Amino acid sequence: MAEPVQLTLYVNGVEQTRHVEPRTHLIDFLRDDLGIKSARTGCEHGVCGACTVRLDGDIVRGCLVLAVQTAGQEVETIDYASDRGDLADLQAAFHAHNALQCGFCTSGMLLTASALLDEKPDATRDEIREYMSGNYCRCTGYQAIVDAVCTVQAKRREQALQL
């Protein structure tokens, strides 16, 4: 077994320094070492999207990134984005459209939807569905999720026109 290495990174705006085994995945570091349970462990193969987090602003699957690869970088979980208010309109739309049921996929869905709206604010329904396809939801069938994202798109467009 490899010797633990010292890792310093920023998680949700706070510098964290820990000793980790080089083979530890980011999601396991977040959950086991830092106690952040909002990032979920699902398939552990990068397929379901439950472990979605932001790494220096980019959406990544925490189960596919080794913790040591994040040295010096900023990792943001749903908690941080939500606490800052970044997701308030998306959260409200998900609630209004019943786009969350069991809640297991919700944190990954919200972070991914937020990235989509930042990158492609005028995405079509098909583009939204494609972008969100890396996040599995077994409860809603995606219609409600796409509806929620479209609602936020329309509201943001309207707000931009009023400025």
CATH number at residue 131: 1.10.150.120
Both 89 and 148 in one domain: the answer is yes
The full 3-state SS of the chain, as one line of letters, equals CCCCEEEEEEECCEEEEEEECCCCEHHHHHHHHCCCCCCCCCCCCCCCCCCEEEECCEEEECCCCEHHHHCCCEEECHHHHHHHCCCHHHHHHHHHCCCCCCCCCHHHHHHHHHHHHHHCCCCCHHHHHHHHHHCCCCCCCCHHHHHHHHHHHHHHHHHHHHC
**Of 37, 64, 81, which one is at a domain's C-terminal end?**
81
**Of 41, 58, 81, which one is at a domain's C-terminal end?**
81
Q: Number of structural domains, the chain? A: 2
Both 148 and 89 in one domain: the answer is yes
Both 93 and 140 in one domain: the answer is yes
CATH number at residue 59: 3.10.20.30
Both 99 and 46 in one domain: the answer is no
Both 111 and 66 in one domain: the answer is no
Domain that holds residue 99: 85-162
Q: pLDDT by residue for the chain (163 residues), tens digit each? A: 789 999 999 999 999 999 999 999 999 999 999 999 998 999 899 889 999 999 999 999 999 999 999 999 999 999 999 999 889 999 999 999 999 888 889 999 999 999 999 999 999 999 999 999 999 888 877 899 999 999 999 999 999 898 7
Both 34 and 76 in one domain: the answer is yes
- Its pTM stands at 0.92
Both 67 and 91 in one domain: the answer is no
